[in-house]
Amino acid sequence: MSDDSKGGRPPFKPSASQRRKVSIAAGAGMSHEEIALGLAISRNTLEKYFEHELSVGAYQRKLETLDALHKAAKKGNVAAIKAYNAMTPRAAAPPLDQPDKAAKLGKKEQQQADATTAQVGTEWEDILPRPSSSLQ
């Protein structure tokens, strides 16, 4: 027995067919556990050797499917039209312009504003004069 040989199981080598199956399954939304069970490998092996197929490959397959669905819908396939229109876009509408917030007061200005309205909401509110509208 030479020093080069190792005992135990040979290292896992994914095939092109397995890579294709993983990207298709991941693109269809199968969990890592389900894909691993389908390939008769452990989840750790799946995640170690098929990282690209589980991420980028899955999205590539999804886009291929959507492209085919869109082409079928454009040709008048009613089922494809319904399926495509049933999808909800994830892109959000642009946010509405927010009105400008009042300029933030400096420390002294904020203390002055707080002092002029200190009686509001207390038993002193009816006794002390109301602040003038120019300070609010």
In a domain, 47, yes or no: yes
In a domain, 26, yes or no: yes
Are 85 and 72 in contact by the 8 Å Cβ rule? The answer is no
In a domain, 65, yes or no: yes
pTM score, whole prediction: 0.55
In a domain, 81, yes or no: yes
Q: What is the domain count for the chain?
A: 1
Cα angle value 76/81/86 (rounded, 5°): 175
In a domain, 55, yes or no: yes
In a domain, 108, yes or no: no
What are the tens digits of pLDDT across the range 78-106?
999 999 988 877 766 677 776 666 677 88
Q: Which domain holds residue 48?
A: 16-86
CB-based burial of residue 53 (10 Å sphere; 0-12 exposed, 13-18 middle, 19+ buried)? buried
Per-residue pLDDT of the chain (136 residues; tens, 9 = 90+): 455 566 788 889 999 999 999 999 999 999 999 999 999 999 999 999 999 999 999 999 999 999 999 999 999 999 999 999 888 777 666 777 766 666 778 888 888 878 777 777 777 777 776 666 554 4
- CB environment 80-111: b (16+ within 10 A), e (fewer): bbeeeeeeeeeeeeeeeeeeeeeeeeeeeeee
In a domain, 120, yes or no: no
